[in-house]
Amino acid sequence: MPELPEIETVKLQLQKILPGLIVEDIEVRGTRSLFGKTELIVGKKVIDVSRRAKVLIVEFDGELSMAFHFKMTGQLIYVDGDKRIAGGHPTSDFVGALPSTHTKVIFKLSKGTLFFNDLRMFGWVKIMNNAQLKMDKFLANLGPEPFDISETEFVARVGKSKRPIKIVIMDQEVLAGVGNIYANDALWEARIYPGVASNSLTSEQLKILLEKIKLVLNEGIKYGGATAANYVNLDGLGGHYQEHFRTYNREGKPCLRDKTPLIKTTLGGRGTFFCEQCQI
């Protein structure tokens, strides 16, 4: 599930807990989910937790790092006695017994335990030294963060493709961190039709789009991400951005501006929601 705001939410929560803790033991249940050697970080202390695009990074002493990509269904759950912090794809594992059938890696810490679960197994954990992390194929090719990029650079990078604007802003090598939910909502906010070629937009429109991308991402972070799972009582775990979706998952529902029923199409193989009345 996670997009930038969901990962940011996990980061903010784990930042308060992990620094200072030592990794005592690691149990790997899903070999396919893990890259690198677990022994590297056993006995090491967590220095900090950070984020790059949709990747969560745990930094250890000794110039070592562990990077998580949740893809569609990854989740991290920290358990310490009665205390539980859950982030990522919301499932009953948020509140159920752990480890679960979807648990791939278990980190026994000097205080508490961290579970990496991944139902569809698209996600990954990479353990490596900081030099290797810098060289990592995925991380090294990422575009700028939406909150760091200047208006000028955004216009230059995003506004030069013949591809549909929605595809371009979701291209992690052009701009990092924007996924399907926030791309749909940002385009609605900017009143831009998702299928329009990005190079046909004016720099004014592109500047507004950057502003709106930051707006919806910030709102996502403010609400603790989206937790589109109403089949499980999350007991306060998980975020609430889903209650503020402009377009995502709102096919046939009225546009929040002009009440026109929203349309759903497919663009680049992904569900695309928009208002044909006000997005041109």
Partner DNA sequence: TTAAATGTTTAAAT
Partner DNA sequence: CATTTAAACATTTA
Residue 31 interacts with DNA (CB under 7 A): yes or no: no
Catalytic residues: 2-3, 54, 270
Residue 218 interacts with DNA (CB under 7 A): yes or no: no
Q: Residue 222 or residue 270: which is nearer to DNA going by CB?
A: 270
Residue 240 interacts with DNA (CB under 7 A): yes or no: no
- Distance of alpha carbon 185 from alpha carbon 190, whole angstroms: 9
Q: How far is the CB of 111 from DNA (least distance, A)?
A: 29
Residues 68-97 as x/- pattern, contact with DNA by CB under 7 A? -x-xx----------------xxxx-----
Footprint (CB under 7 A) of DNA, residues 102-131: 119-122
Footprint (CB under 7 A) of DNA, residues 154-183: 161-164, 167, 170, 172, 179-181
Q: Residue 125 or residue 226: which is nearer to DNA going by CB?
A: 226
- Distance of alpha carbon 78 from alpha carbon 113, whole angstroms: 6
Q: How far is the CB of 273 from DNA (least distance, A)?
A: 8
What are the residues binding DNA (CB under 7 A)? 1-3, 6, 32, 53-54, 69, 71-72, 89-92, 101, 119-122, 137-138, 161-164, 167, 170, 172, 179-181, 197, 225-229, 231, 242, 268-271
